[in-house]
């Protein structure tokens, strides 16, 4: 039997004064729960045929290798009791090594890398395992408050069996000096929960003369749940 508890302290509030744009983004009325119908939970079903061979490798561009420090980001998607969550579509997006996104709105004057799109995807295996090869993203300035800089981070999107089943979160890197002034990190009131968004350096998974490695597990619910950007009741 599934039991539910109030875990709102483990997730950022939809309206947080320290993150100015939430005032414009958060719902102004109470959320309405809509039941999932058969067409919403039975399709599309994600499978290996929807993933290209190199979709989880962000380092290879149309004319060569991406610029920056290669890193392996890997881990498991789990339920609260440790059971693996297989066949989960994971998408990531991130800034390049200079802290710039390949997006028309991003005008931070750091060079764009023609061989780095900043997006990738994969599907968890039968053990709930995922792996990406990418470039460590750089920090970047933004206009949330004076001298505001976002720590290096990678955005994660997890889908269940359909597009209606989606969670969004982000992964940080250990010992980042910019945590103290990042409103997205500090919006999580439970300090232990906030630390669950920080990856761990994984020397054993590092590949000699090739790439450093960081391990980050994603727990979907329970007391050890990974904080997400979705509303939780």
**Cα→Cα distances 67→25, 109, 158, 169, Å:** 34, 16, 27, 25
Pick the catalytic residue from 70, 74, 76, 140: 140
Would residue 150 show up in a list of annotated catalytic residues for this protein?
A: yes
**Cα→Cα distances 151→94, 136, 190, Å:** 12, 11, 19
Pick the catalytic residue from 101, 172, 185, 196: 101
Q: What is the largest CA-CA distance in the chain?
A: 53
Pick the catalytic residue from 70, 121, 150, 221: 150
CA atoms in the 13 A half-sphere facing the CB of 207: 9
As a whole number of angstroms, the distance between CA 61 and CA 64 comes to 5
Residue found under tokens 């709930």: 128
If you count them, how many residues does the chain have?
233
Would residue 140 show up in a list of annotated catalytic residues for this protein?
A: yes
Would residue 209 show up in a list of annotated catalytic residues for this protein?
A: no
To which H or E segment does residue 212 belong? Answer: strand 212-215
Residue 11 burial (CB count, 10 A): 21
Pick the catalytic residue from 153, 172, 196, 221: 153
Would residue 153 show up in a list of annotated catalytic residues for this protein?
A: yes
Q: What is the DSSP string of 124-151?
A: --TT-EEEEEEEPPPPEEESSSTTEEEP
Pick the catalytic residue from 11, 74, 100, 155: 155
Active centre residues (catalytic) = 101, 140, 150, 153, 155
């Amino acid at each position: 039997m599934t039991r539910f508890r109030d875990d709102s302290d483990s997730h950022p509030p939809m309206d947080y004064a320290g993150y100015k744009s939430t005032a414009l983004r958060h719902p102004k009325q109470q959320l309405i729960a809509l039941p999932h119908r058969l067409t919403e939970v039975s399709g599309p079903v994600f499978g290996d045929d929807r993933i290209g061979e190199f979709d989880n490798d962000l380092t290879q561009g149309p004319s060569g290798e991406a610029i920056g420090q290669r890193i392996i980001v890997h881990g498991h998607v789990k339920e609260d009791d440790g059971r693996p969550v297989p066949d989960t579509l994971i998408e990531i997006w991130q800034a390049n090594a200079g802290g710039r996104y390949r997006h028309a709105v991003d005008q931070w004057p750091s060079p764009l890398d023609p061989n780095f799109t900043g997006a990738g995807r994969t599907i968890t295996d039968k053990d709930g395992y995922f792996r990406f090869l990418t470039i460590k993203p750089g920090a970047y300035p933004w206009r949330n408050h004076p001298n505001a800089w976002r720590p290096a981070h990678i955005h994660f999107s997890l889908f269940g069996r359909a597009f209606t089943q989606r969670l969004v979160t982000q992964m940080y890197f250990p010992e980042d000096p910019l945590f103290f002034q990042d409103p997205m990190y500090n919006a999580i009131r439970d300090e232990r929960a906030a630390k669950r968004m920080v990856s761990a350096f994984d020397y054993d998974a590092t590949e000699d003369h090739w790439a450093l490695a960081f391990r980050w597990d994603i727990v979907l619910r329970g007391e050890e749940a990974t904080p997400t950007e979705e509303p939780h009741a």
